[in-house]
Structure 1
Amino acid sequence: MDIGSLLGIVSGLGLIFAGITFLTKDFTMFWSVSSLAIVLGGSLAATLIAFPLKEVARVFKVIGVVFRKEKDEMRKLVVAIAEIANAARKGAAELEKVIGSAPNPFLRDGIQLIIDGYNEDDIRDILITRIQNREQREVDEANMLKTMGKFSPAFGMVGTLIGLVVMLYSMGSGTGEEMTKQLGVGMGAAIITTFYGTVMANLFFNPMAAKIEMRIDKATMLQKMIVEGVSLLYNRKHPMIVKERLNSYLPPRLWIKE
């Protein structure tokens, strides 16, 4: 599990709760099932209109990706590709013997293309096309969360309008204590729904979309490094050259020296 994402959400909710308790002891006034239904239900309904049903059905899986611990495998891949380079220099037959030791499926695909006899340009084109399509699929997932982040404050405003209608209607009907009660209920619903929409957008949906976008960028860089590595294997470069070329994708403190 990604502790940072969990810690961010817990601390964010905790600080909001602490701020509420500093202002009032009756924090239950900030809980409203109807307001939550307006924001969540409305956001989900609008997302269903904007995206295909099968994509929206994957939203919980997409959210789960945010909490999944990120693999830091780039340095390990540099070492693995440099080791495989020894076999690559001896030809496709030797590569076939070590393909199973490749720690990444995308790297194994690239090595298999070498073994199958594709030329370098075709291998690069095939792998780059796979990167672009994978990237587009994941960007669509991030955009779905971004869209929910846009819709939730909007439906918070819908709840505000509903609350104002209730409040204004109560001013024209009812008297005394009943009117005062209706005014309180209407104004409470108006403000709470906006509060829910803002919190959901800025503590959940938008940060989650940003996290997914960051991971997309990292995955793309990793796969581009693999494409470079496969090209070096195809050209039977010396392991030291492979290592130095692929070190360029790592921060200097992580360079493979030996």
Structure 2
Amino acid sequence: MISFSTITGLLMAFGVLIGAVTMSTDKYMLFVSLSSFLIVLGGTLTAALISYSYPLILSSFKGLLVNLLDETNVTKFKHASIKRTVEWNQIFRSSGMSGLENSLNDNEKNDPFIRLGVELIGTGYKGEELKKLLDESNHSQYKQEMTQAEVLNSMGTYAPGFGMIGTLIGLIIMLDNLNGDMAALGNGLAVALLTTLYGILLAQVFFKPAAIRISRRVNTNFDNREMQINAFVLMTEKRPDLYLQDSMNVHLPFKKRLAS
């Protein structure tokens, strides 16, 4: 499902900016400068490349697009997860490990965490041993996923800095033309001001909000895996379906818990 809140926020940001410009002047092209944009974006990407590897940066932009184009309903997802886990519990009790493995659909087989949990159960781990291994995997996956937010947050810090660098470049151009071409003086002033504007916009509208959204998604995924870990442990202990459902329900607010 498309993230309508993200789309709405971006449209409002552009609407406010365009509205402020059109109400203030009819010379709209004053706010367009390719050189200023390249200074900010190019400088930000350069600093990111120095700080991080190509795969991390590409993964971060992929995470940004995923957050823009896909927003999961957390409550519905957890309800579906609870129902599916109760089904696994029934299958595991009646058909054993082979039945559980055969019951996994393609999406579940492609989920590395679910696949790991089933493999560990098949190996014979249970109770605290199973919980410890899955907890370690969950924390490791959490750290890896959080690197996307870290990269975008860093880029949100770099962008205004390169906006200031562009401002200094523009001021130098202005000073060089104080006694000369007044047109060049105006160009220098445009570069000086627009780079700061572009840097702040990129940071406050794109990079930092994207980092926050990714952090929220990562924390939700971590909590979902915590819920799944407890369920896997209870499955190995042959607990009743209702007990397993109640143990997973505690990860939801009272009003949104799945009814028995």
TM-score of the two chains, using structure 2 as the length reference:
0.90
Unmatched runs of 5 consecutive residues or more in structure 2: none
Change (3 A) 1:107 1:254: farther
CA contact (8 A) 1:99 1:112 kept: no
The Cα offsets for residues 154-207 of structure 1, whole Å up to 9 and x where unpaired, read as 000001000100111111x42xxx2x3222221111111100000000000000
User: Are residue 82 (structure 1) and residue 89 (structure 2) matched?
Assistant: no
Q: What one-letter code is carried by the residue in structure 2 that aligns with 1:242?
A: L
Partner of 1:28: 29
Aligned to 1:132: 139
The Cα shift of 1:103 comes to 6.5
Deviates more, 1:87-96 or 1:214-223: 87-96
Match of 1:225 in 2: 227
**Which one is further off, 57-66 or 181-190?**
57-66
- Contact 2:6/2:68 (<8 A) preserved: yes
- More displaced 10-residue stretch of structure 1: 146-155 or 67-76: 67-76
Does the Cα contact within 8 Å between 1:78 and 1:243 map onto a contact in 2? Answer: yes
Taking a change above 3 Å as real, the CA distance of residues 13 and 36 of structure 1, as seen in their structure-2 partners, is: same
Aligned to 1:6: 7
1:248 paired with 2:255, answer no
Give the AA of the match of 1:115: G
Identity of aligned residues (%): 27
Contact kept in structure 2, 1:139 and 1:216, CA below 8 Å: yes
Shift of 1:128: 1.4
For residues 150-189 of structure 1, the aligned pairs below 5 Å read 150-171=157-178, 173-174=179-180, 178=181, 180-189=182-191
TM-score by length of 1: 0.91
Please say if 1:47 is aligned against 2:48.
yes
Name the count of aligned residue pairs. Answer: 253
- The one-letter amino acid paired with 2:171 is L
Equivalents in 2 of 1:201, 1:234: separation in Å?
Answer: 48
Aligned structure 1 segments of 4 or more residues deviating by more than 6 angstroms: none
Q: What amino acid sits opposite 2:66 in the alignment?
A: V
Query: Match of 1:89, as an amino acid?
Result: R
Cα distance in 2 for residues equivalent to 1:103 and 1:56: 26
Aligned match of 1:62? 63
**Does the aligned pair in 1 maintain the 2:156–2:204 contact within 8 Å?**
yes
What is the letter of the counterpart of residue 148 of structure 2?
A: E
